[in-house]
Amino acid sequence: MDVIFELDNDEKNWWSNVIKEFRQEIVAKPQSYVDAYITKNEASLDTIRKDVSGFILQIRSSCWSTYLIDEVDFHKKVISHLIREREIPSTILQELVETELFEDSLISSDKTVLLKGLSDLVGDFAGRIMPYIYDLSLSTTNSRRSRAGNTFEAIIAHMMQLYGYPYEDQSSLGTSFYSKHELGKMVDGVIPGAEAYNSNRSKCHIVTMKTTLRERWQEVVEELKRTNIPHIYLLTLDDSISKGVLKTMKHQNITIVDYLEVKERFPEDKNIMSFEEYFEREIPHTLSYWERQND
């Protein structure tokens, strides 16, 4: 009985490259899903302002649903490619089909018996090629994690554009900016931008984004201490924030920006605000300072 217990390095590299190639071909970049949603729903600044938190929730949910559909297609095609291109997986499947479908005469059986036979065949096949399945699953898990954050960043960047706010993210700031100021990956963007930061960083919005916090917000604290950034806005989609975490962040000069319903649970806390407050009040207030400097 053919069973694959592990993949050697050459096979792991081949499979890794195949997964990467198929994912790039079938699954679009996060920005593409955001752009498609904006175009399809004709989202404008007026529609966003009616319910800022609701807009972020809806576009994120829609982009994720569309991505999952593409992910199903990706998994289907990459597994089919594996069976066609690799001898052992192909042989395993062929033997199972011949023995469990044809020799056992399942093809001519009634529907219930056939479905049970097919489920046994699929389970048997997956078990025998599990190292391929495991590496594919691990790759997909890692892709989902980075995609969730990248989608959130793309949504915020697009909203900045619709509001007409000057905003520079990591790609526009460039590596030289991060090197010059010894900034790490925690800084996702700056309002109004690099030039303003160079002039007076205390009057800028230093923005970081995390879809969920858990203990990862402590990375932001470490970044603040290491770089001596005076204050940072932490945009998140986490609805499980506690009073204790908020208190700790307050002492570290971190302001949370979250859904309106999350902010409403902490009406007395000043270091948490809704997306509505952030886009409609906080950013305009900061930009008014820079407008006065340019007068």
At residue 103, the pLDDT reads: 60
Contacting residues for 213 by C-beta, under 8 A, at least 6 apart? 234, 236, 238, 240, 241, 245
Tokens (6 digits) for 266: 């902490």
At residue 224, the pLDDT reads: 76
**Each residue's pLDDT tens digit, 108-164:** 666 777 788 888 889 999 999 999 999 999 999 999 988 999 999 999 999 999 999
Report whether pLDDT(295) > 70.
no
State how far Cα 290 lies from the chain centre: 32
| Domain at 165-294, CATH from 3.40.91.80, 3.50.50.60, 3.40.50.150, 1.10.10.10 | 3.40.91.80
Which pLDDT band holds residue 42 (cuts at 50, 70, 90)? confident
Which pLDDT band holds residue 203 (cuts at 50, 70, 90)? very high
Domain ranges of the chain: 9-152, 165-294
At residue 59, the pLDDT reads: 95
pTM value?
0.86
CATH topology of domain 9-152: Restriction Endonuclease (3.40.91)
How many angstroms separate the CA atoms of 203 and 216, rounded?
26
Burial category of 219 from C-beta neighbours within 10 Å (exposed 0-12, middle 13-18, buried 19 and up): middle
Q: Looking at per-residue confidence, does 110 or 185 come out higher?
A: 185
